[in-house]
Amino acid sequence: MLKICRGKEIQKTFFDYAEPECLVDVRQIIEEVRQKGDEALKKFTLLYDGVNLNDFRLSQQEIKSAGKKVGSSLKKAMAQAAKNLKVMSRSQLSSLKSLNVKIKPGVTAEQKIIPVNRVGIYVPGGRYPLFSSLLMAAIPARLAGVKKIIVCSPPSFEGSLHPALLYAARLSQVDEVYRLGGAQAIAAMALGTESIKKVDKIVGPGNLYVTAAKKELFGQVGIDFIAGPTELLIIADEKANPAFIAADLIAQAEHDFRARPVLITTDLVLARKVNKKIEKEVEKISTRETVRTSLTKNGLIIIVKNVEEAVTLANRMAPEHLAVFMERPERIIDRLQNYGSLFVGEYASEVLGDYSSGLNHILPTNSASRYTGGLSVRDFLKVQTALRVSKKGLMEIGPAARHLAQAEGLEGHANSIKIRLEGKSG
């Protein structure tokens, strides 16, 4: 099922970024939304979603009544996931502090942390919308103190949004919900239209068009990161359970045709057992076509000489999800540096990270974990600094600033300090 190769055959990062091929179309959509506002949103919603809408926003009554269509067991599971996510988010928030630092006598540097004012969350639609992604984004945003949280998701469920998605919106205290998807939704949130007020930052996963739109509009609006197909890299030794590995690779593969499930192991026997188990288990699930395509086109088993080679490859690949199924995982954990989230031990299924563990599942892909981590409460906060300087403090740090400005040829900068040092006025 999965192609087996040697570690030395991997010549690239594997999870590297590829420029979306739909950029030209996305740019046209963005420009039309910029020029025509709601008229363009109606046009593209009819064109891409097959739904003719005059009003994109769902009322609070519609959101509230949707909860009646959601089963009690699903509500209970959502509540547990939300509770665990809140525990983690509150702990992250407590680690961030305002500062008041005395640099020199008469010189005080300050730091305060405030929330972003208005945030937009994109939630992919479909028959089974990712309501868990709404929880992952909205709950830390609310705990961070964001004043307005809006959600956009395509009207792919009976011309509207799935009741479970609307229940998740209510559970996480979202302010506004719009049945609007694709690049046009990102453009609307970034630029604003007659019915949708623009936001300061957009977060959440999406397809190629959504990703390309976020990339194109970055700078005019803040974003979390440029995300691509979901990724799972498992490092396993000969003691690992092939059934667990196969189950996790299948779970990752069923996300979509472009998902990237990869196993690195020192043991060829284990690799063959995993492949055999996958072939047997795939036939039992309803998503088998997606799984087969993903595993065949994008899946890989890499045989390495030793765990040191496995660590080197993992750090180079920088996957979204990294799992370590080894007898003594501690011997390599500290050397693993690039990943969105790490899952240690065979019972730490990556699926727990997707739903109920308290970890956030909106994570960097395309090797972006080399320089950033996953979504957290920090993404909804701004660090602002301030400076207070007395005349005595100016005498402490002013001469250095003046000298540096002169060295860079910025005479006006140097003069700004000079007149203060000389006490000139008027």
What would the two tokens of residue 26 be? Answer: 């996305």
Q: Is 320 a catalytic residue?
A: yes
Spatial separation of the C-alpha atoms in residues 96 and 85, rounded to whole Å: 17
Q: Is 403 a catalytic residue?
A: no
Q: How many residues in the chain?
A: 426
29 phi, psi to nearest 5 deg: -65, -45
Identify residue 189 by its one-letter amino acid code: M
> Strand 222-223's sheet: what is its strand order?
57-58, 176-179, 148-153, 118-122, 201-203, 222-223
**Strand-strand pairing, 201-203 and 260-265:** unpaired
Residue/partner pairs of 187-191 with CB below 8 Å, 24 or more apart:
187/29, 187/30, 187/33, 187/34, 187/213, 187/217, 188/33, 188/41, 188/152, 189/120, 189/122, 189/150, 189/152, 189/221, 190/120, 190/217, 190/220, 190/221, 191/30, 191/33, 191/34, 191/217, 191/220
Q: Is 223 left (phi over 0), alpha (psi -120 to 50) or beta?
A: beta
Q: Which of 231, 321, 346, 361 is catalytic?
A: 321
Strand runs (DSSP E) across 226-340, as ranges?
231-236, 260-265, 300-303, 321-325
Map tokens 């046209």 to a residue.
28
Residue 340 buriedness (CB in 10 A; 0-12 / 13-18 / 19+) = buried
Cα 260 from chain centroid (whole Å):
17
Contact 33, 330 (CB under 8 A): no
Spatial separation of the C-alpha atoms in residues 4 and 293, rounded to whole Å: 16
Which residues neighbour 352 within 8 Å (Cβ) at sequence distance 6 or greater?
Answer: 343, 359
Q: Which of 320, 346, 350, 361 is catalytic?
A: 320
Q: Catalogue the active-site residues.
A: 320-321
